[in-house]
Amino acid sequence: MSSIDHPPAAVLFDRDGTLIEDVPYNASPSRVEAVPGAREALDRLRYAAVPIGVVSNQSGVAKGLISLSALEDVNARVEELLGPFDVWAVCPHDDGDGCACRKPAPGLVLSAASTLGVSARDCVVIGDIGRDMEAARAAGARGILVPTAQTMPAEVAAAWEVAADLAVAVEMALNEPCPRCRRMGSTLGLLR
């Protein structure tokens, strides 16, 4: 496959259900298990020199089910299994907290992009549920859905782009221009 003229400025991943198996409110590093093919997909981006990050809702912190220390330990285990990430953006709030960071709000995507020094409009967000895609859209980023057994059919239908697995999603991000997007100079702009 040939690469697009301008690869994404960064690719941002949801954590649970996308990079690692979804264990609700996981506070134990020993329960972290990588999704098949995750390391290879991430290494493909590293080889292409595309920055990578994690954007993750972790409401278990707000609910008192996970301590910040345990969350850091789990995230460290993720990096042990999958390699280093250029940025982590984590929302510790619950739905009722009204924060601007919790997906589907754009805050995590905007924060990660800002930390990397890139525009969110030039990023790709890869996730497994509608909230991930809504956050991408709200931030002006491209979203690619990788459905799992937990992904609702309506979320798949609403997604602009759907990939069978992480490897396909990464190749789409690197090699295929967004079908609902157009280039505006160096910025990836969404068509309305």
Q: Give 186's contacts (C-beta < 8 A, 6+ positions apart).
A: 6, 122
Tell me whether residue 132 is in a domain.
yes
Strand order in the sheet with 87-91: 87-91, 52-57, 10-13, 123-127, 142-145
Instruction: Give me the sign of the Cα torsion angle 25, 70, 98, 151.
Output: negative
pLDDT at residue 1, rounded to an integer: 43
Does residue 177 carry a pLDDT above 90?
A: no
Tell me whether residue 151 is in a domain.
yes
* Residue of 5, 14, 43, 128 with catalytic role: 14
The identity of residue 101, as a single letter, is C
Could you give the angle at the alpha carbon of 10 between the alpha carbons of 9 and 13, nearest 5°?
A: 160
CATH at residue 75: 3.40.50.1000
Tell me whether residue 155 is in a domain.
yes
Tell me whether residue 145 is in a domain.
yes
To the query of whether residue 122 is one of the catalytic residues in this protein, the response is: no
To the query of whether residue 16 is one of the catalytic residues in this protein, the response is: yes
Three-state SS at 97:
helix
Count how many domains the chain has.
Answer: 1
Q: Kindly report the average pLDDT of the chain as a whole number.
A: 91
pLDDT at residue 85, rounded to an integer: 98
Distance CA 162, CA 83 (A): 25
* Residue of 5, 16, 86, 94 with catalytic role: 16
- Residue with the two structure tokens 């859905």: 145
Tell me whether residue 74 is in a domain.
yes
User: DSSP letter at 94?
Assistant: -
Distance CA 1, CA 171 (A): 9
Distance CA 156, CA 190 (A): 19
Mean pLDDT confidence for 41-57: 97
* Domain, as residue range, for 90: 10-190
What are the beta bridge partners of residue 89?
55
Tell me whether residue 180 is in a domain.
yes
Tell me whether residue 1 is in a domain.
no
Tell me whether residue 5 is in a domain.
no
Distance CA 48, CA 130 (A): 27
Does residue 109 carry a pLDDT above 80?
A: yes
- Residue with the two structure tokens 């309305």: 192
User: DSSP letter at 102?
Assistant: S
Does residue 185 carry a pLDDT above 60?
A: no
